[in-house]
């Protein structure tokens, strides 16, 4: 989450980058108390749609064959 290219993130603003970053920090660092019900609902209801969004974004990436960057 820390290394999402700004242009890529802007091109795919349908993906909730800030929400994912915030949730990751709360779970990882234990800010306040993690509500496991929210985590479970996120897994059940939000992750399937997010998976599709990310897969579509990655599918539309141009192939990089110069070994200077990542490819899907």
- Tell me whether residue 55 is in a domain: yes
- Any catalytic annotation for residue 3? no
- Any catalytic annotation for residue 24? yes
Q: Which of 12, 24, 26, 51 is catalytic?
A: 24
Kindly state the tokens that stand for 18.
């800030």
- Tell me whether residue 53 is in a domain: yes
- Tell me whether residue 1 is in a domain: no
Measured distance CA(10)–CA(28) in Å, rounded:
25
- Tell me whether residue 47 is in a domain: yes
pLDDT at 3 over 90: no
Q: How many independent structural domains does the chain possess? A: 1
Q: Are 53 and 15 in contact (CB under 8 A)?
A: yes
| Among 44, 47, 55, CA closest to 12 | 55
Give me the mean pLDDT over the 39-56 stretch. Answer: 95
Measured distance CA(27)–CA(53) in Å, rounded:
22
**Range of the structural domain that residue 12 is part of:** 6-59
Confidence class for position 45, pLDDT limits 50, 70, 90: very high
In the prediction, which pLDDT does 42 show?
A: 94
- Tell me whether residue 66 is in a domain: no
**pTM summary value:** 0.68
């Amino acid at each position: 989450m820390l290394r999402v290219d700004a242009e890529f993130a802007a091109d795919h603003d349908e993906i909730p980058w800030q929400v994912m970053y915030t949730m990751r920090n709360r779970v990882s660092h234990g800010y306040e108390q993690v509500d496991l019900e929210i985590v479970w609902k996120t897994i059940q209801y939000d992750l399937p749609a997010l998976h599709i969004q990310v897969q579509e974004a990655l599918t539309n990436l141009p192939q990089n064959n110069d070994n200077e960057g990542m490819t899907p």
